[in-house]
Each structure stands twice: as C-alpha cells, then as structure tokens.
Chain A
C-alpha cells in the first residue's frame, strides 16, 4: 500500500485512540465499583454529570481555572459517592438486585436535584485557548484537547493501577475482593475498603464529567449518553482494570475504523453486533476475574 493511501487509516487509528480514551475514562469509575464492590452502579452517568456541573459551578462562581476544576470535581463527586455509600449502598451489599434499583433511584434524584438547582438549560465550561487548537504532524493530526484527554486517562489509569497493585490499601482491596469473610478474619476492615473504593470510583466519574463537559455539553441528562458505553467497556473487559483498558482500546479503534469505511451509525451497529457475538462465546468478558461470587 502506498503511504498516501494509508493516511486516512492512520488518522482513524489515532482518532480511535482518542475515542478509546474517552470510553475508558467514562468506564474507569464503574470498573472499580463493579469489580471491587460488586455493585452495578446505575447512577454512574449521573456521577459524571455532577462532575461536569461541579466544574461549571466552581468556574462560574469563583473563577477556578479549568485544570484545577479537574481535581476539585474528583473531590466533590467522591464526597457525594461517600455520602451515598454510607447512607444507602452499604445496607444493600448482599442484595444485588436492590442495589440496581436503589442506584437507579439515586440517579433520578441526582438528575432532578441538579435540574432544580441549575435549571435545565445547557451550561458551558471554558477552557484555556491552547486547548482549542489542532496539532498536526504532516498529514496526521489530533486536537489538543483530545490529546489532553488521552494524557489524563493514561495518568489516571496508571495511578489507579498503582493504588490497587502497589499499595497496602490495594492489597486489602484485592483480599476483600477474593473473599470478604476471610479477609475480615485477618483484620481487614472490609466495610472501610468498600467505602473508600466506592468514593474513588465516584470521584473518577466526576473527573471524567468535567472533561466531557468541555468535549460536548453540560446538561442534567448528559450522563445517560456515556453510561451505556461505560457498561459496554466494563462487560466486555470482564470487570478488571486491565480488561477495561483492553476493551476500551479495542472498541474505540473498531468504532473509528468502521466509521471510516462506512458511517458513524453503521459503525456503532456493527460494533454492538460484534460485542453481542463476542459475549455469546466469552460471557465473562476478555479477562474474567476469578473471584468468589458474593
């Protein structure tokens, strides 16, 4: 193949990386909460939405620069997650169907609460001028903001991996994941592990939200657009961190390449069909976590 013919394909692959990073950062919080705590968090999309509104509120009220809004929205949504975990989720750990309903209820409450406070008109997050440009190397290019999203996703994945695989807390988490009762008998406070993990998962969703607010729009209903993709990544990946990374990479690239050869709508259709077929043969995902069923 002549190099020039490959340009659109290479551009599509670069773009696929960007799509993958968006899907991954949307799914990261969900992965942690599902993979560790075992809760299917239907309010994940609304955590993303609350993150976006946190950035908007901090920016429009006290003029916080965008890059500081990111950790701030992590902190605020982690706090929201903490309150919800302490107030509701912890009473439901042994009732997976009830958590499904309860978190769905939480999502409605969050959506309507935000609507009552901020109104239902779309909001706007400003970013530095430098993020509004395109970076080109010859025929290849990507927008600066997409690069920022890729970089932040990579950093957050690295930090999460470090936390769960290189720290004492991470070891406790993995112990609780494998067998809660046994871990408890060794003196690990499983309740505390769940609480912190849930808060971190929520915080990561908040961080993703402030990025999505820039890429797209800030609305009370914005979360629903991302939550399907996030669940997809988690299910295809099997619920582990490495699984989610691989699943997001694969689905993002496929989406981008299919869209190059057909169109966006058909690409999505094809992707979902492939995922259904894939799950038929590997129902527990790419990297199934060996763990005791709770």
Chain B
C-alpha cells in the first residue's frame, strides 16, 4: 500500500466521524469545546456556518452524527451531540450583531425561491450576503415549512423557528407569504436569473383500503398536524390508531395524546427493528403511554352508519430468506376498535404545478430529474433541493442541499460552469503547548452520557405547545463536552523523524499502532495489525518506510481516542497532535 496522502482534506475529515456523517459537515468537536469553555455564542455561530438552524436542529435533527460517533465504539453511548447544539442555542445571548448582513449595493441578479422551508432559507442565507435580490414564495403565512407545520410545538417551540428564520429573512429577503405557486410557466415569465424549488414533500400518502372515505375521522398525518398547528383541529376522539412508525407517526400519536385522545396505538407492519422512527422519539412516545402494535397490516376500516368503529388488520409473521429478504405470512385477522385513524405511512413531493414543455424532465413517480451534485434540473437555471429534489430526507439534508444549490446558483448567475465547484480545504495546526502539554483536554472522561430532563407528564399534556425536553444544564453540558474524544485533533506522523523506539505502540491504550512489514493490499495489512478493527469503515494510516528498518507505521483510525499519549511519549516528535479544521466553501467563497 502506498503512503496515505494526508494532504487530501478528506482523509482527516473522515477521521472526524461525526463531521463526516453530518450532511452539512458541522464541526462538532470544535463547537463542543467552545461550549466547554462557556463560549456559547461562538459555538452557536460556528454551528450556524454549516447548519444554519442550530436552535431548530438542536431539538429536531435526525442526528446522523450520533450513530457515527467514535465514543459509541469504545463506550456504551455516543456523545449527546444534537442536544449540545441546543445548549449553545439556549445560552448564546444576543448574537444579532455578529450575523452576516446583505450589502446595500445589490449585484443585480434576481433569484426566486419557492417554499420557505429549510432548503430555501439556506439558499437565501448564502446568497443574500453576496448581494442577490432574493424573493421567497410561501403558501402559508409564516416561514419554516414542515419544520413549523409538521413538527409539533412541544418538540420545537414556534419562537425558535421565528428567531432563526428571522435571522435570514432579516437580511432582506422579499417574502411573499400566502402565495402558492400554481404555474411554473408564469413564474419563469417573470424573468428571474435563477429559480430554486424547495417545496418539500408535503403530500401525505393515502391508504387505499375499503372504507377509507366512509367516515370523517380518518386523517392524513401531515394535514392533521398542520390542522392542529393552525388551530383548525382542537380535539380528537378518545381511541386513536396511528398507522405507520416513522417520525411523523410519532408526532401524530403524541399530539393526539395532547388533544383529547386517551387510548393511542401506533400500528406497524413489521417488527421493531425495522421501525423508521428515531429510537429516542419512539422512546418518548412510549413514555407518554402510546402503545406500539407490531406486525399488523391494515385491511379495512370498519364503519357503521358513517361512524368509524374500528380497523381490521392482518396479523403477520415475518421470515427472512437466505438473501436477507423479509417475507410475510398472514396468521390471522383482528379488529382493533377505534374512533379515529391517522395515516402516517409516508409522504411525497407534489409538483403538479410544473407544466410540461418547459424543458423540465421528470422520472418515475413524478420525481424531477435533478443532478446530484449541482442540484440543477434539466432546465438550466432551475434548481431543486430539500425533499422536493429526491423525496423525504430530513432537515439537515435540506440545509446541505440549500448550500450546494446556492453555490450552483452563484456559478450560474456569474456565467461559470456549475461543475467548477470550489474544493474543500483544511488547516492543520499543532496542538502542542510544551512538554506533555496540549491545547485541548486530552484526558478521557468515563462519565456516562448526559440524561435529558423532561417536563412532567401531567404538565405536558395540558397544552400542546409545552416543550417536553428541558435541555441540559450548563453543568451537564460541561461534563458532556468532556466525553467528546476530540477526533479533530489529529495524530500527525512524520516518518523521517521516527527512531522506532516502540514508545507510541506500547502506550496506545486501544492498540491502534503497529510497525509492520509493507503489504500489497489493505486486507493483508489489516491482518498484520496488533489489534485488527471490527469496524472497517475507518481508514488505515500508512506511513512511508521508516528510516531504520524500512517497516511501515500503520495506524488504524477506528478506535483512536485522540488522547495524545503517542505524541506525549514520542522522543523525536515524529507524532504530533494537530488540530484539523475543514474549510467548507459556500457560495461566493471560492479562492478564499
């Protein structure tokens, strides 16, 4: 194997599991350290650079970073990364004078954004400071999109949405509220330099089984949640079945408990390990008394004289064949009595307002053809992002789509090819302060993951807008920061300095280091390691030939604790701890 090219920013980036897993590549270890130093505002603003909505995401993110977190591979639970973002947001104080601003002199380019959800707002956030004239069309009367209308207020207070959307809109976006776009042709005729479609996936999937339209108490989840949000729906019947086990289903069942339902069941086709809902949301729902029913497939609604009395299900038994494919067998049927049903079995994007003949191609299932990198449709100057582009994902993906689309829009409007995208950069700076002294806290803190405090059940059911999670205390936050392994403080190796004394190999607590003979292939090299990794997702660092024996220094990045002991014990500073900072590039920042 050739020596690892550590001048490629992606090598060290991948070592920072959380940052690598985050669609927007938020610099997690650094924002955690800032929280640890009490620099909440700095931490908030660092978050905002990449994920734009730290307060919102600190409560609602799907947190792809946490399953990736290295701490989860060496300890029971990962760092509570997501809720730490909320700590930064809660304690940040007034940061308005540190937010980006739009120049008075505009650049003369007009951009239209359809939908005021996270992806469109991110586009606006990136383009307004460059002098773009940004117009946002929103069908409702407030910004936020699904963040506002489908996430109930007990998880995400409206004030947080108002504030963070307000930061962007306050830069001078022209808001056209209550203005649904009904014709793309008409919009194109207005002569915008670029148009971005960020209309999400607002269309709840229906369930076409007998009796669906025979009773008034059968609802589509997203519509029902929006109804509760707007106050159109203030109550639901006592016995409620929620069909589906995604996060929308979790929001529906918990909202139902707050508007009058006493007996709420969530019905799943399959077993628990296949549920789409985030485990913590499922846990919260069950804590609130929601009953989960597994392996039941809806068969028909039972309606008597126009009144829903129950729903009939096939009881399924699942088996797995040799290829891991799941097959079901009906083992019985059952009628579960209920007064209302909420369908939360998925959502689609809805783009019927885009006419044919505009050069905008669609693939199967009415999905637009969109370039994965540039976000451009088949019509130049027309871009898609968020759930509207490739179907339902989540908020953090929508934000990243917004960033990428903004880069494309800027390239498009300045007449440059969209493929000439600015590469990411990095800085690496030694964290050495002196003999065995480092600029980060390298000690390992064995504390367990911080437990979130929740509002008591009686109080939370009294009002749909009472926030359930109370957030971490500053003390909890400070301890949680210590659990972070500082994966961005990289172990940097200079092979020419190594005297092969074995000190680093001997001290490494997790046996990451091996000095071994060169090998042709990675698989062979992995077999030669003193402790081969279980998780093969992390790379091997391979040095050049060492001066004395021509062996290689191989570091398995998998469970490195970044404790710095290898560098502490290195007599020649062949190992150094260096802070890695990924330089993400946003619209208009090329060549920075």
- Do A and B make up one complex? no
| Chain A interface (Cβ < 8 Å from any Cβ of B) | none
| Chain B interface (Cβ < 8 Å from any Cβ of A) | none
